[in-house]
Structure 1
């Protein structure tokens, strides 16, 4: 087994990335504290060619050294917007025809492995604060909530880990992915 060289990975240039058709998924970050988590989410959105990241409330915004440390350039490729409140972002997405779902543990949440949606329709997923989760008013404004099934004692994941799991599940069976 041989590790692939960088030129063998068929990576897109920044211009090619920006011109590519995106997966119609927007990630909404609800008052995330950690710049490292924000950078990691940008990097994951780049990896899966997602449409955009919406940064809300006190979620840090690029440019910042600590975001760039984990984003590794993804803030230059992934489209992002800032909203003063997450509720404003969710309402705008709904007006634009997005189905909006919180990633949260609530009554009647849908386990991620059972979540289904029209993969051609636009979808927005809201990830919450590292301690408080998705704000309750935002959860109520969403169409529903998706929960990552967990077996251990903690029943919580770092937001960047949760984003990686959820976003992979949302894009994994798209045609021509691999």
Structure 2
């Protein structure tokens, strides 16, 4: 997808969730962070010539830090996020720079997606399509959160999450196969 189509897909998702009007959506902190991420990620992936890359990415870095300070949302340019991404509430959202997040995902406030583990098990999660991540959830380690999954609020996910499942708790365990339908 092009940069413009990715921003449009995010915009449509915000509109779907009730942020009516162009001005209202651009006053939403989650959208600010996504908009900045989309532009920074575009330049991060397209510009390879080192002297020019530094000149372009330095302002992107400061822009990201400004957004991070204002909103509490940290999305590095090197993260990979699919289309129709939605941040439900702002504050305390941290994504590792190696995060891979699929299409049509929702995350809530306080979510951390980070590195964990030792040796061969050290790494960052890969999150599939249509995944809902509840408030204050932590997803860490070299794991896979499969498609159509729901991660409950305040859960610690450190093992693979099967497709079409609902996980909750510390550590998170599968409690249902109702999927994320209705939450996305």
On whether the aligned pair clears a TM of 0.5, the verdict is no
TM-score, length-scaled by structure 2: 0.28
TM-score, length-scaled by structure 1: 0.29
- Which structure is higher in RCO with an 8 Å CA cutoff and minimum separation 6? 1
